[in-house]
Structure 1
Amino acid sequence: MSQATIITEINTNHKAIAFTFDDGPNPLFTPQVLEIFQEVFGRATFFMIGKHMLNHPEIVLQVTEQMHEIGNHTYSHPRLTELSSTESAEEIIRTDKIIMELTGTEPKTFRPPFIDYNDETVSLLKKLDYHMISAVNFEATDWEMPDVAHIVSKTRDQVRNGSILLFHDGFGDCSQTIEAVRLLATELTSQGYRLVTVSELLSLKNQ
């Protein structure tokens, strides 16, 4: 399984970074993320779970209307390597259809739950024309609620042109994440970074 199959950052001369948020939409935390990005005139990518999208279509619409990107994060957040190839395909394709139905936009980015994937996943995503996306700041571990300072510090360590940053807006209590993202988004924009979607960042890749 080649690491070249999953994208953690983009080689670019542009001062641009992609914030990504997993496991939403969430009625409490996703709107707070949207508020932060409105304040800094930035965009983000939300890797949404299909069943959560069906539960909160109004938030999906809000994300889309504010010009953020919605990526596929499967229907129920399983470990894909523990499923059959048919079950894995169903998880991805079912959510693909939900995104299309709710937004009218064809999704182009996918993040496997737990960053757990195999050659069958790679093959399927190629057929579906998806980019498989990881991130550079896993040491921030925002899902463990380590404290705001830890999330900010470990993310700062990975900030550079083309960084893809991972956070959560739909896993348990995301209050620390919200505060950390608020600080980071303000700080990075003040340093001249553009906060862009993953697809926008891909388009800025050095040729």
Structure 2
Amino acid sequence: MKKQAVALFVGLALLVPSMNGSALARNQQDREYYETRGEIVWEVPTNTKVMALTFDDGPDPEYTLQIAELLKQYNAKGTFFVVGSRAKDFPEVVRQLASEQHELANHTYSHPDVRRISSERLQAEMEKTQETIFQSTGIRPQLFRPPGGYYSDAVVNTAKKAGFLVVMWSWHQDTRDWSDPGVQKIVNKVLNNARNGDIVLFHDYGGDRKQTVQALREILPELHKRGYQFVTVSEMMRLYGKTKKVGQGEHGDD
């Protein structure tokens, strides 16, 4: 009986790496499919020392403004994937981001699990967020990031129908700051993996974001010293190799 148990354990242990490898291969295939079609962006291939810093789930009247102040010190522009309900609660923060020429992007209205809602509900979430941001700033964002980074044909097609390009983040630049891993882990994740054209994922809301702010105090000067410039996602795509014409956002008359 013990021999059978040991054999089963060994068999499972051998199987797990195979399953992980298979999952990674599927993820790579999915990514190549969407990248080739120009439907999702993970990063921008470029020889220029430039990257985009992105911030999800805000705005927050404390942490978003602290981050904006840090970015200003390095003439850096961020891309803020805004949750519509929070934009409604803190329109002054959204207006400040826009006035400082950061990019506003759509991150749904209530941050639902997009795997569990209909395409109609997702479209309504997008549209409500658009209207909320427009009412505060006169801007209609052109980029969308699904909460949790979950994407599928349904998500991509709904985004396209609503006029969005889906933007994710570089696989090697997920800071996981939402889990409070410690300032040094966030810093090391970004600095040790910094590459041209990276899209880096941070969060400016979702609990205590002091670690994110403190990490940026170390990340920004070091990358600046290495010669990196920090631009919005749309600017990086427009200037450094993405052919789709995307702007900071469209201004309208209502």
Which range moved further: 32-41 or 116-125?
Answer: 116-125
1:151 aligns with 2:183: no
Q: How far does the alpha carbon of each residue in 1:56-83 deviate from its partner, in whole angstroms, 9 at most, with x for none?
A: 0010111111110010000000111200
Which residues in structure 2 correspond to 1:75-154 (within 5 Å)? 75-136=109-170, 137-154=172-189
For 1:117, what is the secondary structure of its paired residue?
coil
1:18 aligns with 2:52: yes
Q: Which one-letter code corresponds to 1:86 in the other structure?
A: E
Structure 1 contact 12–205 (Cα < 8 Å) conserved: yes
Structure 1 contact 24–46 (Cα < 8 Å) conserved: yes
The number of residues matched between the two structures is 207
Q: Give the percent of matched residue pairs that are identical in Structure 1 and Structure 2.
A: 39
Normalised by the length of structure 1, the TM-score is 0.95
The offset of 1:84, in angstroms, is: 1.1
1:201 aligns with 2:236: yes
1:48 aligns with 2:92: no
Q: How far does the alpha carbon of each residue in 1:153-190 deviate from its partner, in whole angstroms, 9 at most, with x for none?
A: 11123311100000010111100010111211111112
1:168 aligns with 2:203: yes
Higher RCO (CA-CA < 8 Å; seq separation 6+):
1
Within 2, Cα distance between the matches of 1:88 and 1:116? Answer: 12
Q: How far does the alpha carbon of each residue in 1:1-20 deviate from its partner, in whole angstroms, 9 at most, with x for none?
A: 54423211101122111000
**What's the counterpart of residue 251 of structure 2?**
none
For 1:140, what is the secondary structure of its paired residue?
coil
For 2:112, what is the secondary structure of its paired residue?
coil
Q: How far does the alpha carbon of each residue in 1:103-151 deviate from its partner, in whole angstroms, 9 at most, with x for none?
A: 1112011110001122121112112231211112455211111101100
Cα separation, partners in 2 of 1:116 and 1:186, compared to 1, 3 Å:
same
Cα separation, partners in 2 of 1:58 and 1:148, compared to 1, 3 Å:
same
Runs of 4+ that moved beyond 6 A = none
Structure 2 contact 174–202 (Cα < 8 Å) conserved: no
RMSD: 1.4
Within 2, Cα distance between the matches of 1:139 and 1:92? Answer: 24
Within 1, Cα distance between the matches of 2:119 and 2:113? Answer: 12
Within 1, Cα distance between the matches of 2:237 and 2:164? Answer: 12
Q: Which one-letter code corresponds to 1:159 in the other structure?
A: A
For 2:41, what is the secondary structure of its paired residue?
coil
**What 5-or-longer segments of structure 1 have no aligned partner?**
none
Structure 1 contact 12–204 (Cα < 8 Å) conserved: no
Q: Select the structure that is richer in helix.
A: 2
Cα separation, partners in 2 of 1:200 and 1:139, compared to 1, 3 Å:
closer
